[in-house]
Structure 1
């Protein structure tokens, strides 16, 4: 079995066939290479293959290098892909403009082969380091889920998308029941284990497109794009039942109280904070009714029924 690590993927975007072929042949020593003749073709390849780095010319037909950079950086799925420009347009204003718009590097054509090779590898490694640091800054250390800071950014993003395209969006506000009692009776080791188990259940049960975060203390949030309240109820019950059925060494059972708020059809809210507040009101009812249950927000909780 071949156990060699997978090589990074490089997309070369160059409209001149001999230059494109020469770059692909030389850089193929270090990279798995994809090629495109302009930015338009490159966009399709990026969406299909998610390369680790893009090497692009500036002047190309249909969509040039700067336009390609803008497309990459405005798409949340690709905005962390580094772009290096290789161009004969080397006047200082052009170079500064490229860096100010977020290019990882700028190399003047034709470029010395070994220098090009080293600078591309450096740009890729630097982007990986930055991505790792950003991931750590957005991750809850105990559960491995996203943290509150990451949740704020994602909630704003998903709310804006749902509102713009009139798509459903469900939010689950989840409370790990009786965590304080667990800590008091069995120690913080038990409480931390319960939080980690809850995080693992989120990873097992949610879709890849969903977003789970530790909200703080004993509370978690799950964002379910394109899910209605009824669909979110199914997910919430699955989370609740899965946690309760997991092997657990302490006598106190693990249960979840969950509040759901959904933007769908005529039901909407003014802003992300209002969606969270509606889920919080539903969670309060869930806990007030005895915990270990799911409640769904209604217009009384701040959701507005559009009658137009």
Structure 2
């Protein structure tokens, strides 16, 4: 169900809009001034905005300007509403980024048709933008988008003086796969390789295809040993992967990997240098034996890496500063301000410690709209506080809710509830909440 925010200082107009839009199947939010509208847009997932041109306080045009200055809202469709037919005002609204303009009193059929057109245009625009950023075969970031996201991450890590790791990965003997089994089999291998990457690395790590069989991973807020260990986990998982290429044929592949750490080189917060150094380590891995991870010459013994991998798998929850939360990720989200992060955790507890019961009630009552709002909100805040396992589990439920897969709601929610209870319990214990 798509959500439309209607903003007008006239209560009768809002009532009519709410009635007409709900009858068409939209979820409707309302506000009677620009400030309230901007606040709602910060906290709710809105698909379209109907905005009155003349309002007390922040005018419709000023509200539109503020929206277009927010990168997160740059593609939000906006239709302006006004009783005025002043051509200059209409032109100004369109120049500031309004998608359309409708005069009041509006004709319901005409307004609804324009809303449908604007939403279709938004969907096409998002698909085109996604195509421009995504590798068409593997569905990970293409080279340009990987570089864009990695540069942003490097800039952030440099400001707070936290380490960052970049890995270059190359499929061993990939040409032989194409020559022996054909290019269709090669495409299947590339897809499985990318899928294994997304399974192994964290949701906020940046993954991209940067060449034919070359991939790269940018790991923010990651020590060298942690980055090396993650790549070693991937290498082991890949060599044990059996790939079905059709016609009753299977094959296995390996990868050579180079890992560069920002804090192990002078001027390390430089994308080109990190990529070049990771590529040099990748070349060394291929020269030595292939199916190998190579990094800086600092003493990283295989036994030490294996011990860390084992430790990651068997980690005791009591050793975490906050159970279920990657503390460093959460703190980095507020630029290293630990006191502010504690306040945010307290707010998370206050706002979401009842989410488990509320989501269960929404599932039991088949309240799709309420369920969608609760799950989508929890997913967003889980990521912001560094509760990445909760984020992943809530993300799975969020996808199911958006697709209407009602049969999977309860089993997916059971996973969410367990992780949410762990996170809430950890915050309560650490902050001594009574």
The reply to whether residue 287 of structure 1 matches residue 282 of structure 2 is: no
> Residue 217 of structure 1: SS of its match in structure 2?
coil
Which residue does the alignment assign to 2:405? none
Q: Could you say if the C-alpha distance between residues 269 and 78 of structure 1 is closer, same or farther in structure 2, counting changes exceeding 3 Å?
A: farther
Query: Which 10-residue stretch deviates more, 162-171 or 84-93?
Result: 162-171
Retained in 1: the 8 A contact 2:142–2:209? Answer: yes
Q: Give the direction of change, closer, same or farther, for the CA distance of 1:289–1:20 in structure 2 (3 Å limit).
A: farther
Which residue of the partner structure matches residue 257 of structure 1? 256
Q: 1:150 aligns with which of 145, 151, 164?
A: 145
Q: In the TM superposition, what is the alpha-carbon distance from 1:165 to its structure 2 partner?
A: 5.7
Q: How does 1:93-112 map to 2 (within 5 A)?
A: 93-112=88-107
What is the alpha-carbon root mean square deviation over aligned residues? 3.2
**C-alpha contact (below 8 Å) 2:154/2:220 kept by paired residues:** no
Matched, 1:188 2:183: yes
Using the TM superposition, give the Cα deviation of residue 66 of structure 1 relative to its aligned residue in structure 2, in angstroms: 4.4
Deviation at 1:276, TM superposition (A): 2.4
The residue number in structure 2 matching 1:11 is 5
Task: Please give the alpha-carbon distance, in whole angstroms, between the structure 1 residues aligned to 2:159 and 2:165.
Answer: 15
TM-score, length basis structure 2: 0.58
Determine which structure has the larger strand proportion and give its number: 1
CA offsets 1:237-261 (integer angstroms, 9 cap, x no match) = 3322322222235676312222233
- CA gap of 1:109–1:75, structure 2 versus 1, over 3 A, is same
Q: How does 1:153-172 map to 2 (within 5 A)?
A: 153-163=148-158, 168-172=163-167
Residue of structure 1 in register with 2:14 after alignment? 20
Superposed, which structure 2 residues align to 1:1-308 within 5 Å? 7-30=1-24, 31-60=26-55, 63-88=58-83, 90-163=85-158, 168-249=163-244, 253-263=252-262, 268-269=267-268, 271-296=270-295
**Per-residue CA distance 1:102-141 (angstroms, 9 max, x = gap):** 2222223343222211111110111111222222233322
- 1:168 touches 1:228 (CA, 8 Å); kept in 2? yes
Contact 2:165 2:260 in 1 (8 A): yes
The 1:166/1:137 distance shift into structure 2, 3 A limit, reads same
CA deviation string 1:55-108 (max 9, x = no partner): 223445665544544554455544332222223565333333332332222223
Cα distance change, pair 238–57 in 1 and its aligned pair in 2 (3 A) = farther
Q: 1:78 to 1:289 in 2, by over 3 A?
A: farther
Distance 2:199 2:261 in 1: 22
**How far apart are the structure 2 equivalents of 1:170 and 1:217?**
22
What is the distance in 2 between the residues matched to 1:56 and 1:157? Answer: 33
- Please, what TM-score do these two structures have when normalized by structure 1? 0.79
Where 2:169 maps in the other structure, the secondary structure is strand
Deviations, residues 201-231 of structure 1 (Å, cap 9, x unaligned): 1232344433322111111122334444444
